[in-house]
Amino acid sequence: MESIKSLAYEVHMEELAEASLRQHIAKSDYSSVFVLVDENTTVHCLPRFMHKLGMTPNAIHEIKAGEVHKHIGTCSLVWEWLSEQGADRKSLLINLGGGVLTDLGGFVASTFKRGIDFINVPTTLLAMVDASIGGKTGVDLGALKNQIGVINQPQMVLVFPEFLETLEPRQIRSGFAEMLKHGLIIDAAYWNALRTTENFADGKCIQQSIAIKNDVVCQDPTEKGLRKILNFGHTLGHAIESYFLESKTKPTLLHGEAIAVGMILEGYLSHELKGLSKLSLQEIKDTFLTHFDRVDFTQADIEAILRLLIYDKKNSHGEVNFVLLQAIGNAVTDVKVPENLFEKAFAYYKEV
Ligand code: NAD
C-alpha cells in the first residue's frame, strides 16, 4: 500500500512499513533503540513486532495498560528507565501500543533530554487512524484529559492492520467512532461508505482515514484554524469521558464510546445553530446507536459533565468553542453555544 507523506515524516503500511523501519534504523546511526509496550501489547504484538524490527533493541519497558495510567507518574517511570539504561540524545524510542501508549511515549520522548527520536507503531484501530497521527502527545492531569503535552512529530508511523486480530471488538468499535468522524467533518461519501460496510477495519478504510486526518494536520499542524475540525464531538465527548473516568460508580467508557455520544449531542447543536438538516441529524444518531449502546445519564451526571466542560482545553477567554456541522462533510469551527441548548441536546440523545 502506498505511503502517506506527512509533515516531516511518512506513514507506512504493511510490508512497506517493515522495510522502512529497517532502512531508517540502518541509516540513522542511533546510539540505542528502546521499545515501549503495555501489558497487553507485550503479549499480543511484541513477538510479531520483533520479527519486523529485525534487530535486538537495547531494552524493552512495559507500562500498565489503560487510560487511568496515562499520567505524569507513568512518564516518570519511563524517564527513569531510559536514564538507567543510558539513553542519550541519539537514542530512539519505539512506541508499540494503543493511543494511551503512543500519546504517553511520544511525550516522554519529546521531553527526555529535551527530545529524542520516536516512532509510533499503533496497535489499536483508534491509534492507527487517529492518535498516532498528527504529533499531539501528552498525558491527563487527574481526570482531565490531555492537559499536559506538546505537539511534536514522530520519525515515522508504521501501520500493521494485522495487529487488530487480537483487539477486542469493543476496542475496534472505539476506533470506528473516529473514522466516522472523519467522514462527518470532511467527506460525506466516506461517511456513507463507512456506515454501510462491515469491513471498516480493513487496510483500505484505515488508509483513507489516515489520509483525511493527515491532510488536515498538514494544513494546520499547530491547530490555529482548520485542525480544530478534528475536535467535532470531542468538546462534550471529552467532558463525558473525564466524568466517567473520575467516577467510582460509573462503568468505564472508552474514548470512542464517549465521542460517539459527543457527536450525537454536537450533531443536535449543529441542527439548532448551523442548519444541519433534521434528516442528517437522525442519520448521525441512528448510525452511532447502531454500533454503540445508549449510555445512561442521570440529571446529576449531566450537570457534572457540563461543569467539566469549562475545563476543556479548547476553551479560550472562558468561552466554550464548538466545532459544528453545516451538513455532513462540512464542519465549521469556533461556534459559541448558548448554555440552555446543552440540556436539550442530552434530551435529544435520550429520546427513543
Ligand atoms: P489504549 O491505548 O488504552 O488501548 C486499548 C486497550 O487495548 C488497552 O488495554 C491496550 O493494552 C489494548 N491493546 C492495544 N493493542 C492491542 C492489540 N493489538 N491486541 C490486544 N489488545 C491491545 O486506548 P486507545 O483506544 O488505543 O487510545 C485511546 C487514547 O488515545 C486516549 O488517551 C485518547 O486521548 C488518545 N487519543 C489521542 C489522539 C491524538 O491526536 N494524540 C487522538 C485520539 C485519541
- pTM (predicted TM-score): 0.94
Spans of all domains in the chain = 4-166, 169-350
Residue segments in the chain with a per-residue pLDDT below the cut of 70: 311-319
Q: Is residue 95 lining ligand 1, measured as CB closer than 6 Å?
A: no
Determine the 3-state secondary structure of 154 from DSSP: coil
Closest CA to 132 of 123, 141, 145, 143: 123
Question: Ligand 1 center to residue 243 CA distance, Å?
Answer: 18
pLDDT at 8: 75
pLDDT at 87: 98
Q: Is residue 126 lining ligand 1, measured as CB closer than 6 Å?
A: yes
Rounded CA-CA distance 127/101 in Å is 9
Q: Is residue 211 lining ligand 1, measured as CB closer than 6 Å?
A: no
Number of Cβ within 10 Å of residue 139's Cβ equals: 21
Tally DSSP H helices, then E strands, for the chain. Answer: 14, 11
Q: Is residue 99 lining ligand 1, measured as CB closer than 6 Å?
A: yes
**Region 4-166: CATH code:** 3.40.50.1970
Rounded CA-CA distance 291/178 in Å is 13
Q: pLDDT tens-digit profile of 30-69?
A: 999 999 999 999 999 999 999 999 999 999 999 999 999 9
Residue of 64, 103, 124, 150 best suited for mutating to test ligand 1, as the one with most atoms within 8 Å of CB: 124
Beta-carbon-side half-sphere exposure of residue 168 (alpha carbons within 13 Å): 7
**Region 169-350: CATH code:** 1.20.1090.10
pLDDT at 65: 98
Residue of 11, 43, 95, 100 best suited for mutating to test ligand 1, as the one with most atoms within 8 Å of CB: 100
